[in-house]
Amino acid sequence: MSDQHQNHQHHILSNSMAFRIFGALIVLTVVTVGVAQIDLGALNFTVAMLVASVKASLVCMFFMGLKYDHKENTVIFSTSVIFMAIFMILTFGDLLTRGDVYVKDLSKIIPDGAVAASNQSKYEKPWVSNDELVSAGKTLYTSACVTCHGAEGQGNGPAAAGLNPKPRNFTAGEGWKNGRKPSQIFVTLTKGLNAMPAFGTLSGDDRWALVHYVRTLGPHAGEVDGAEDLAKAGVGAGGAGAAEKSIPVGVAIDLLSEPAGKPSEN
């Protein structure tokens, strides 16, 4: 067994070397603290990170023995640094290029309760059909709905084959799960149903437009919404139904950092 060890001699870090590395680390710590007292602007950060990296390299090479070890272990450990760099690049690539998204979305989300301009309905009563809504709905339908519901609205679009239950056949007057009143279809669109995702991120008018268009595909429907139906659908007088609130990162950070409920002035 000892023979094996003769063939693979372990490197033993000498005590004097260990003390020299220790001395270097202490000196570099003093440098770190010293440099922090001088204002070098943006350079401060760079210097601090450079010094820290020199210290880290000394620890890795000598105390952790990478200098004397197989290259393999250095390669293994380096991958973590590489992946950390990828992590940083992607995160900052995202963060630094979405500055104006925050600004745009802020007006939509805050103040609470107030539906921002883009969600305000153009119509006095968007739940009552009109030609403009129907034609807007047709355009939206062609882009967002045909793959499942089909061009004729028979629930036989190309993607319908794989779905069970089948997508709604808009040409049938019966069997609508949530009902066929405009407000009821509006709710289905907003919340989704079975395989259909929620389309709550569409503006209220867009959803109403789709509602009125799909109602033209089937037999004429006499049902009209009462005030109660509209209330159920979350539509207030004059409102089109707010687009769902999505919160961008910056706003979430703002909300998280509020000391108990007071809006910040920052």
Partner 1 sequence: MAHSTGSVTHLERHHAHHFKTAHEEFEACKQGMWIFLVTEVLFFAGMFMAYAVLRVLYPDMMKAAHQLLDWKKGALNTVILITSSLTMALAVSAAQRGEKQKIIRYLWMTLICAGGFMVVKYFEYAHKIHEHILPGALYQYKELTMAKVPLFLSVYFVMTGIHGLHVLIGMGVIYWLIRRASRNEFGPSYFTPVEITGLYWHFVDLVWIYLFPLLYLVS
Closest CA to 233 of 175, 180, 190: 190
Closest CA to 128 of 48, 223, 41, 28: 223
Q: Which two tokens stand for residue 14?
A: 């000498």
Closest CA to 190 of 176, 207, 173: 207
Asked whether position 117 contacts partner 1 by CB under 8 A, the answer is: no
Chosen residue from 67, 68, 88, 104 binding partner 1 by CB under 8 A: 88
| 173-202 binders of partner 1 (CB under 8 A) | none
SS3 142: helix
Indicate the residue among 58 and 185 with the shorter CB distance to partner 1: 58
Contacts of range 108-113, beta carbons closer than 8 Å, 24 or more positions apart: 108/243, 108/245, 109/245, 109/246, 109/247, 109/251, 110/251, 110/263
For partner 1 (CB under 8 A), the number of binding residues is 63
Chosen residue from 117, 227, 237, 256 binding partner 1 by CB under 8 A: 256
Indicate the residue among 80 and 143 with the shorter CB distance to partner 1: 80
| 24-43 binders of partner 1 (CB under 8 A) | 25-26, 29, 32-33, 36, 39
Closest CA to 56 of 85, 5, 21: 21
Chosen residue from 76, 114, 161, 252 binding partner 1 by CB under 8 A: 76
CA separation for the pair 35, 48 (Å, rounded): 8
Residues within the interface to partner 1 (CB under 8 A): 1-2, 4-5, 7-8, 10, 12-15, 18-19, 21-22, 25-26, 29, 32-33, 36, 39, 44-45, 48-49, 51-52, 55-56, 59-60, 62-64, 69-70, 72-73, 76-77, 79-81, 83-84, 87-88, 91-92, 95-96, 250, 253-254, 256-260, 264-266
